[in-house]
Amino acid sequence: MALDAARHTLAGILASGGDVPAARERYLAALGDAVKAGLPASDPLYVVGATLYGYSPEVGAAETAPPAGESVTIPFEYMQGFMKDVLLEYGVPEAEAEVASDVLIESDKRGIDSHGIGRLKPIYCDRIDKGILKPYTPVKIVKETETTAFVDGDLGLGLYVGPKCMQMAIDKAKKYGVGFVVAKNSTHYGIAGYYATMASDAGCIGFTGTNARPSIAPTYGVEPMLGTNPLCFGIPSGDDFPFCIDCATSVNQRGKIERYQREGKPTPKGCVIDNDGVERTDTEGILRDMQFGKCALTPLGGAGDELGGYKGYGWATTVELLCTAFQSGPFGEDVCGIDRETGTPKPMPLGHFFLAIDVEHICPLDTFKENTSKLLAALRAAKKSPAGPGRVYTAGELEHEARVARTANGGVPVPAPLQRDMAVLRDKFPKLAEKYQQLPFEK
């Protein structure tokens, strides 16, 4: 009876909405009572508390509010070392933890705050804790030819599956001109741009994509059916950075909406549609309803066809096909991560693909880079809009400038909610508690 009453209270708070900070405080207090009454971590009401409001049983409901204060800048080396140490404590071997932490810190270096330290706890550590992601399992080669390979990640960290696959593709391309590798049974592999620039740094054109838990509604639909499914190219140039286009096939993605939540901002209109066809902007409510499949992201171009939403829908479907057809892989509800009926967490076996084309097999690399830079320079020199920022950018330029600025400023800006995540992870393991007795924001 106590558990039923606690569940009723939680559901009532979600339904009432209202002031976000006040609702968060009430929900966390009620969730603490519900957990004491026996609410399992697999329950959707628990999942909402953990993902939306930051509930963590390690510290208790009363202490889950993020620490006061502004963002604190943490050096890249320190942050990567911390993330690597956390992964080591979870059982990831040394070499794989080094690679995985490099993928994560590269996101933060590029200013892609949705996929660096912000992903460590909720996407990787929490999923290991739930038993739906393995900290380590050997990557198995199912089939291989001179130019292709098919691998099985066996639900290990995509953060080490992905780099291994792209390196295989690059090695094949260097020898035969082209290398193409597909993976099945992998998991979230971080920023796609990491893999595309692995190829461009090696003098290759890189192309990669991954499917993900269902988030995008098809054009004229409202049900989440497709992942945010990024399409990503990396092309060598003679500039200080390669041309790298890494973007989801949705108007926005879940990670960005989670960032809006951390920053207390509304979600821009046109990014999310609910089951009633309403375009939503209430960030807290969106994240809550996405857990239950009650709203979906819109494809590039938005809902409907007025702004070409069918184009984003088509590209998202293309990625989904390349990540499931070779692999006979699951999609839709089979990779949603939770049993909708019981609320029990379940694995999300994802597919990836990696293509590398060696430039030197077609023309001299220096010639290719010169031609690439010539076109990109022409685009940047285009006539500027008087209503714009006064500059025209090319893909990869903003990320390069973020890297330069963050390097000059001393590292990664870490907001209060992520400071709390770091402290929770530190306190979870005695070795980390000993090594990181005082985190940079605890001075």
DSSP annotation string for 152-180? E-TTB-HHHHHHHHHHHHHHHHHHHSEEE
Tokens of 38: 């026996």
Q: Which pLDDT value is given to residue 338?
A: 85
Residues 226, 316 contacting (CB under 8 angstroms): yes
Residues facing 438 on adjacent strands:
none
Alpha-helical regions (H) of 209-360: 254-263, 283-291, 309-324
Rg from Cα positions in the chain: 22
Residues 412, 439 contacting (CB under 8 angstroms): no
Total length of the chain: 443
Q: Which of 76, 73, 26 is CA-nearest to residue 53?
A: 26
Handedness of CA 87, 91, 92, 94 (dihedral sign): positive
CA 293 to CA 286: how far, in whole Å?
A: 10
Handedness of CA 103, 104, 110, 113 (dihedral sign): positive
What is the model's pTM?
Answer: 0.84
Backbone angles phi, psi at 191, to 5 degrees: -75, 130
∠ Cα 53 55 59 (to 5°): 145
CA 373 to CA 276: how far, in whole Å?
A: 47
Backbone angles phi, psi at 216, to 5 degrees: -90, 135
Residues facing 250 on adjacent strands:
299
∠ Cα 271 290 420 (to 5°): 95
Per-10-residue mean pLDDT of the chain, 443 residues long, equals 58 50 62 66 57 52 48 97 98 98 98 93 96 96 98 98 98 98 98 98 98 95 95 97 96 85 90 94 91 91 92 97 98 89 89 98 98 98 95 97 97 94 97 97 88
CA 297 to CA 335: how far, in whole Å?
A: 16
Tokens of 191: 């920023």
Residues 238, 262 contacting (CB under 8 angstroms): no
CA 166 to CA 195: how far, in whole Å?
A: 6
Strands 178-186 and 350-358, sheet pairing: antiparallel
Strands 231-235 and 204-210, sheet pairing: antiparallel
DSSP annotation of 272: E
Q: Which of 246, 200, 236 is CA-nearest to residue 376?
A: 236
